[in-house]
């Protein structure tokens, strides 16, 4: 009887050992095939965290603009009636995208809450401008009338965006050791601010068409000549 119990005990220990050996072998195979969990872990850098927060607001602003374009398409709006609105919203969207793009030049900044707010404020203003110019879902006025009804606050906000983004960009570039913008780029930005303020106080359709074309030209030149390379 004692011999039988001893044999059973040895048999159970042998089975447990083989089971543990099998588990160890399976784990060894898994670790050899799959990357280490430690290697897979990666935390966001401070710049990436700041960029994500700003990009959320940029996404909201662009979605407002694209939603308005979609409503124009569904309503079969007259292109000549909506031309100024489309040009103004396209200019704002281009400024938003360019602002996010240029944040790459200040990635070396040692970020703090005040510096984050300095970088975040221009995008908040741009999102507010996108909301102001956005076409209401239910409106009884024409797109042309809506554009001129909202043009003053819209272009005032856009001018404020340009002023604050230029000031914050210069300060953050200095903090990052990236140097200042070229003089030609600064002069073009100042001209764009002047054009935008003129648009805010003008009610001439012809003046709006010409000045919006000037802003589009500034954006094209700035994107080709002065935009930073990643």
98 and 134: one domain? yes
Percent of the chain with pLDDT over 70: 78
Structure tokens at 6: 């001893």
pLDDT at residue number 136:
81
Angle at 75 between CA 74 and CA 79, to 5 degrees: 105
Tell me the C-alpha distance between 101 and 176, whole Å. 16
pLDDT at residue number 229:
62
10 and 61: one domain? no
12 and 81: one domain? no
Q: What is the mean pLDDT of residues 47-62?
A: 94
Instruction: Please state the pTM of the whole predicted model.
Output: 0.77
Q: What pLDDT, in 10s, does the model give residues 31-46?
A: 454 454 444 445 778 8
Q: What pLDDT, in 10s, does the model give residues 152-206?
A: 999 999 999 999 999 998 899 888 887 666 777 788 889 999 999 999 999 999 9
Structure tokens at 219: 């954006």
Structure tokens at 137: 């879902």
What is the secondary structure of 188-213 as a DSSP string? HHHHHHHHHHHHHH---HHHHHHHHH
Task: Name the strand (E) or helix (H) holding 115.
Answer: helix 113-133
Q: What pLDDT, in 10s, does the model give residues 197-219?
A: 999 999 999 999 999 999 999 88
158 and 183: one domain? yes
Sign of CA dihedral 183, 187, 192, 193: positive
143 and 175: one domain? yes
Burial zone of 199 (CB within 10 Å; 0-12 exposed, 13-18 middle, 19+ buried) = buried
104 and 22: one domain? no
pLDDT of 19 > 80? The answer is: no
34 and 103: one domain? no
Angle at 114 between CA 111 and CA 120, to 5 degrees: 85
pLDDT of 53 > 50? The answer is: yes
Tell me the C-alpha distance between 147 and 135, whole Å. 9
Q: What is the mean pLDDT of residues 103-123?
A: 92
Percent of the chain with pLDDT over 90: 50
Cα-to-chain-centroid distance, residue 143 = 27
207 and 160: one domain? yes
pLDDT at residue number 32:
52
32 and 51: one domain? no
The boundaries of the domain holding residue 23 are 2-39
Number of domains in the chain: 2
95 and 207: one domain? yes
Structure tokens at 48: 């990436």
Residue position matching structure tokens 């094209």:
220
pLDDT at residue number 230:
56
pLDDT at residue number 75:
82
116 and 185: one domain? yes
Cα-to-chain-centroid distance, residue 88 = 19
77 and 14: one domain? no
Angle at 214 between CA 91 and CA 121, to 5 degrees: 40
């Amino acid at each position: 009887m004692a011999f039988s119990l001893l044999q059973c005990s040895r048999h159970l220990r042998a089975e447990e050992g083989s089971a543990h050996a099998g588990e160890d072998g399976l784990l060894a195979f898994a670790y050899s095939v799959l990357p280490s969990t430690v290697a897979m872990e990666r935390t966001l850098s401070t710049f990436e965290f700041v960029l994500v927060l700003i990009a959320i607001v940029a996404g909201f602003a662009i979605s407002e603009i694209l939603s308005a374009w979609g409503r124009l398409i569904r309503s079969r709006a007259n292109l000549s009636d909506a031309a100024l609105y489309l040009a103004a919203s396209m200019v704002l969207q281009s400024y938003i995208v360019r602002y996010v793009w240029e944040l790459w030049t200040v990635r070396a900044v040692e970020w703090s809450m005040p510096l984050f707010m300095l970088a975040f404020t221009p995008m908040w203003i741009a999102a507010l401008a996108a909301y102001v110019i956005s076409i209401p879902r239910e409106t009884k006025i024409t797109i042309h009338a809506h554009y001129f009804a909202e043009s003053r606050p819209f272009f005032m906000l856009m001018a404020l965006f340009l002023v604050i983004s230029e000031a914050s960009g210069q300060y953050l570039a200095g903090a990052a050791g990236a140097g200042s913008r070229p003089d030609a780029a600064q002069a073009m930005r100042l001209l764009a601010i002047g054009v935008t303020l003129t648009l805010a106080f003008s009610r001439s359709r012809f003046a709006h068409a010409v000045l919006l074309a000037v802003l589009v030209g500034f954006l094209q030149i700035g994107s080709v000549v002065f935009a930073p390379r990643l």
